[in-house]
Structures are given as C-alpha cells and as structure tokens.
Chain A
C-alpha cells in the first residue's frame, strides 16, 4: 500500500506539471520565435513590436484603472455587506449567503450583456425610457465607458471579495473594539480607528484577488469595453490574435508575458496577505460571538440596499435576458411590447446549426470535463492530504499555480502547443485547457473532504473487521461524496460558461456556448443571444440539481 502511494506522486506531478507548466513554457518560447512554430528562429522582434506600439501605454493605463477600480468597488461593497451581516442585527441574513453564491448562477458574459441591454447608448432600455419620458436627446447614459466596465466587473467580483472579508470579519476580536469604546470613542470612530486597521490584511487580500480576477476577466472588457474602443490587456491580446487585421501569436505571447507576470506576482502577494490576516485571527479564538450592533431605524433602509443589490446581481440580469429574448427588438416594457412578444429568437437559435453545435460541445465539455477533472483532482487531493512528503507539497503548489493564470494567456500558450499536435482544433484541446485552468476548483473541495476523514475513521473500520474494500465502500466514499459533488458542480458550471480560454482555442466545429454568445454580441443579435443565454443558465442549473441529487443518493449507502 505504502509503495503504490509513493509511486503515485511522481505520476501526478508529471500530469499536473504538464497542465500548468506547458502553457507557460510554450508562451515563453512562442514569444521569442519567428513564425507559427514555437521552436522557430529566435527573435526579440515580438517584444519590440508589442511594447513600442504607441497604443500600448494607453492600454496599460486602462488596465490599471479598470482592475484597481473594480477592486475598490467590490471591496467596499463587500466590506459593507460583511459588516452588516456579521456585526449588526440586519434582518433576513440568508440574503448574504445568496449573494456570496451567485457566481454559480449567472455567467459573467450574460451579466455583462444584460447591462449592455439596459444601458447601451443607442437602444439600451434605460436610455430608451429616458428618451421617451423626459424627451432626452441622444444617449443619456452609456455603459461603454471605463466607469461602466468598472461598475459591472466590480459587481461580478463582489462575491469573491465577500468570501475573503466575511470570515475575517466574523473572527474579529470584539474586545479590541470594546476597549476602544470604554476609552470613550464613538461607534464610527471605533470603526475607523480600530476595526478597519485590524482587518487591513483581509481587505488588501480581497482587493488583490479582485485585481487578479479582473486582469484575467474577458467577458466585461469584450462585451462592454470593445464596443466603446476601450482596450485592456486581455482584449488587446484578443484583438491581436482573433480580429483579422494583424494576427500575430508571437506578439500576443509577448504581451501575455506581462499579464502573466503581474498575475503571478499578485497571487504571491495575496498568499502573503492571507497569512498575515490569519495572524490577527488567531488572537480571537476564544469562542465568543461578536457583539451585535443595533441598527435601530436604519435596519430596514439598510436591508433595502442589500435587497436592491441582490436584485441587481441575480434577478435583473435574468429578467432582462428573458425579456429581450421574447420581444422582437429593443423596446421599453409596455403594453405594445407585451402584445408583440413571441418565440421568434428562440426558434432562430434552435434552428441555428452553430448554436446547436455549441450547445452540444459545452454540454459535453461540462459533463465530461468535470468528470475527468474530478478524477484527476481526487488523486491530487489524496496525495496532498494523505501522503504528505516534500513531493506532495510541491504538487500542491503546482496545482494551485494555475489559479493565477489569465485564461486568455493560458489559451495562447496552449495554442502554441496544440498546433504541434493532432489535437489542434479538436474538442480535446478545449478539454485539456479547461482542466488545466480550473483544476484548483476541483482540488479545493476534495482536499477539505480528505482532511475531514481522519485516518482513525478508516482504521477503526479495519479493527471492527472491515477489509480494505469494505472500508472504502462504507466509510471513505460516503464521506468524500459531498466534496466530490461540490467540486464537480463547480467545474461543470465553470466549463459550461467558459469564455476567455475558449475564444483562443475554439475553432470552427468546436464552438462553445460562451463564444457563440460573444459572436451574437459582436453582431448585435441581442434576441438570439438572450435566448441562448437563458438556455445556458438553464443547463448550468440543471447540472447543479442533478449532481446534488446523485450526491444525496450516494451518501445514503446500503448496509
């Protein structure tokens, strides 16, 4: 038994190492070589071209404003929500759980599209409304601005910031605050002088994570930024490889190198900050509930803000999409609009061979990819938790490295690799890329499940007379099922909606849902886009429901 365990580690290091290191190596090689072969003649010209481009400075400035702006929006909102949830008597606290879970529900590209449908300058619903009611001429509000991008990306990354800040907030040592109040400071003063400074590592960690995410974000920059001619690194790379005029993978790789370097640096910063944050948290493990601040009259108004946020985050996008999918063209909801509703766009989508193909591919990638991904994650998590050697520590770092890779950059790296293989332009290329990029999502729930299975639980089954297989069937598997199910759900929903890697790797014949939606957006086919989007949300939700059902069945094993 000991022997096979030992043998597993190098094998896994090889697989995971290939998945995470291969795109990076190919990216580096590609950025230094001439032509469409990563092993071509050495050249520095790609870097020269990429970084002397007069437009590049502006792209960098845009990227900085976009990422930092989004980080500020989501961190401030997350702080506000976390404070209300953990430290005040705000009603209906279950709402906070829902807000922290939405990334599972509405795919980013659809969220961005729904804002375009509301606020685009030519026929955004709110603009149409303002024109009709107040007679405003032209576009009153435009989403196609840097502010618009920041707002939407900030809302999308809110759950991530919340998940980092909320635990720190609830582990906060209240006696620090109490002693401040004893010294005569007001609530507000205490908040500014004690609470926020102590939470600083968590706040900075949340902001850093959001910067990494928005740097990797492709949905918002492509759907909202590109129509407004506002380019950030991700869309600049996309423009170089995908939009006709100067297809140059070498230059894209050269640009990608700086995005990758920035991401990796930021992830290291994030890890450092979370470790800092834990230092503060350990002070307070004395197990008392934080004292709750009575909001008095402000209870319901503040709750109103939270409710509005959840509405904007979850319900509004789905409503807007559904509405757009049944009206013939953009119009403000009215009696006339209701009279004209019909299934025209749905029928068009369901007859469109490319849309159907993308549906089939995404479903296949979601189910098949998540299953394969979970099999790999299972062994990796097992080695990380149960084997515990130097090599398994290395495997852990390796498997979490890809967490920091921007999808489009990994896509370019894999592109260089797949061109050399028969996998190019097949669905397998997408499958491998997906698993490489999203492996941490599968490993994380499984490692916590393995940690939960204390070795005594297995051993006591052996002493009770259960053989190794019997122990596996009745103790190990049932205890792992919840972790396997949540990892599978995470991976499957991520794969069904995957965009940033797919825009590079998908080729005619291997279209996927998100890419098809992006095409519809580029062509302004909002009705079809919305219909397909609703189908995408429906598929994700169905997968979640089915997986949870199966999980519940498996946990109740027979004797």
Chain B
C-alpha cells in the first residue's frame, strides 16, 4: 500500500525551547517496495515513523495509507494505532518480558479474537519463516539479541499487515550479526512483497537494503532516490557527505560543453561528465569518492584529469589501502587495492574518471 504524507509538522517543547522534529514533510512512500529513511540521529526519523503508526500526533498535515486517510488536521481525523493494522519493529524490540515466544507472536491475532487453531497455525508458520521453529515455549527473557529481533519481526508479520515499519532494528546487534541479519531481512522483505518503511542512520544498511532511500536532515526530507542515484548523483553536499566518504574540492565553472563541464580548482582543471545547470564563473564543489581515485606511476601523463602528488600516509585496512595524497595544498583521501605497490612518501600521478566526478552547487 502506498503511504502519502502531506505537509506534516511536529514540534516538541522541552525546557522552554521548541524543537521542530518534523518540518513540512511531503512524502510518497511507494507500495510494496523497501523504503528507507536515512539521516543523522536526531533528524526526526523516529518521529516520522511514530506519526505514521499513530503513536505520535502531528501538529498539522495529513497521512493516508493505501488511500485511507488515517490522520488529518484539516478533516479532524485521527485513527488510533490499534486500528491502523500496521506492523512495527521497535528499536528496543519491545518484547514483553512476562510472556513466552508463542504469546508474544500470537498477540496481534489474539487482539483480533481469531480462533485458537488459526492462531496456532499462523504463529507456527511465522516462526518457521523467521527460523525460530520450536521456540514457542521459550520465555522471552531467555532470548539472545538476534532472537529477540526475530521474535519482534515475527510479531510484526504474523497478522499479515500491508505495511511494516522498522526503527533501526539492527542497531542493537553486534557487527557480524548485523550484517547477516541485514541480508536475511532483505530476503524476507523481497519475498513478502509488502511495503516496508525502514529507519536507519547507517548508510550501508540504507544502500544495501532499500529500493528507495530518502535522506532527512533537521526534520526535512532533503533528497529521495534509488541507492545508486543517492550515492552517485546527489547534487547536495550534505547528502554526498552523509552517504559515504568523499573529497570535496572547491572551484569555479570554467567551460560548459556538450556532456562535459570543466571546473577550475586549486589542484587544476577538473573535467566532469555530470550535467549541471551552471554558467561559467559559478562557484561549485567537485565531489570525488576515494575509491574512484586511481594511483599511477609518477611519469604517467596521457589523458585528462591527471594530477601529480605525494603519498602522505598509507594504512593497510585488510581489504584495501587507505591513505592521503597531497596535491599542492590540497589533501585527498583515497582507497586502493591492497596489491598495488605504493609507498609512503612516494611521488605519484593520480587520475579521476570524469564519469565519477560530480558537481555540487554551493
């Protein structure tokens, strides 16, 4: 089901100050896809999610789920959370400690007074789906973090909601488990074909899990697109910076040609293939991700976007070398194959592929 949000505002008042947790949010969450809200902590992701499920009352705006308006200040509509028929996985999992796994998972069905046999069957099926067969009698307090997370997922799925919402569901797991669970979650959600709204501040999770990513900042949606669009083609510095490590080089547009723009910068002229709406002379920033910097022999000088520099530092991080190169006054971070033969202090040439240089408007 599609979720449409119009002009949503929510302020909090604490200690005499007003915090705009949501600031005029307009958003269409497409049906049956995995949609991620990404943003630094405190930007209002949880608040937006809680407004969608109905745990929080927005100050103004409208929310419709699958065409049905569940909240509207104009029409005076507020459907309480228990009648929105959604599923949600909380950041804390919120597993009820006084119940066993079966009762935790059966709860949404019990609230609907379904027949006992149906409940048993559905709970079994859902527990099987999240790979917790045979855990029915286990007390909720005797579960590991990963198991709690699965119980929370099973509970959110058991009543077959059309929309499921996740609030940073992996943030309480350790690194290795987080990676495994992320992959499983992707598999589950793809198989189920339901609308999933996923909140996270972790860019890897957002990029690897979603069909669509919306980046939030201080209560606003600043950009929305597929993971590739957000990663490669964002024209906002905040987004480019937040979504991954990058070099930002200030400069001015020199020429605007067919399919190519040249920017004059402190390290020289940089050719970029990305289209941009700027006339010569405009101040811009060129963004180059560290993995797109190629390190060449110092005497290499054929082609465009070749610069000369010196390796300032080099750290072996296992699957790559990471380090800094000084070009004139500018320090650039780079990341290269662990087999490449470079040494600290070495004079080298470096090359940026014009296809991977993006221009951000200042």
Residues of A within 8 A of B (CB): 454, 456-457, 459-467, 470, 474-475, 478-479, 555, 559
Contacts and interface: CB of A to CB of B under 8 A. Distances in A.
A181 B97 CA distance: 43
Nearest to A456: B94
Given A459-B55, A478-B98, A464 B107 contact: yes
A523 to B, nearest CB: 52
B87 A463 contact: yes
A464 B98 contact: no
A463 B111 contact: no
Contact of B103 (A454, A470, A559): A559
Contact of A465 (B82, B96, B97): B82
Contacts of B94: 454, 456-457, 459-460
A555 B184 CA distance: 36
A463 B86 contact: yes
A452 to B, nearest CB: 8
Contacts of B155: 460, 464
A93 B53 CA distance: 50
A457 B82 contact: no
B81 interface: yes
Given A459-B55, A479-B98, A555-B98, A465 B92 contact: no
Contacts of A475: 96
Contact of B80 (A457, A462, A555, A559): A462
B227 interface: no
A58 B153 CA distance: 72
Contacts of A463: 53-55, 81-82, 84, 86-88
A479 to B, nearest CB: 6
Given A462-B82, A465-B82, 7 more contacts: A459-B81, A460-B88, A462-B80, A463-B54, A466-B107, A467-B82, A479-B98
Contacts of B80: 462, 467
B55 A466 contact: no
Chain A interface mostly: helix
B112 interface: yes
A479 B140 CA distance: 13
Contacts of A454: 92, 94
Interface in B51-82: 53-55, 80-82
A484 to B, nearest CB: 14
Contact of A456 (B85, B87, B90, B112): B90
A479 B97 contact: yes
B159 A465 contact: yes
A457 B85 contact: no
Contact of B110 (A462, A467, A559): A559
B108 interface: yes
A278 to B, nearest CB: 24
Nearest to A454: B92
Contacts of A555: 98
Contact of B82 (A456, A466, A478): A466
B219 to A, nearest CB: 21
Interface string B89-107: 0111010111000010011
Given A457-B96, A478-B98, A465 B111 contact: yes
A460 B85 contact: no
Contacts of A470: 82, 111
B19 to A, nearest CB: 16
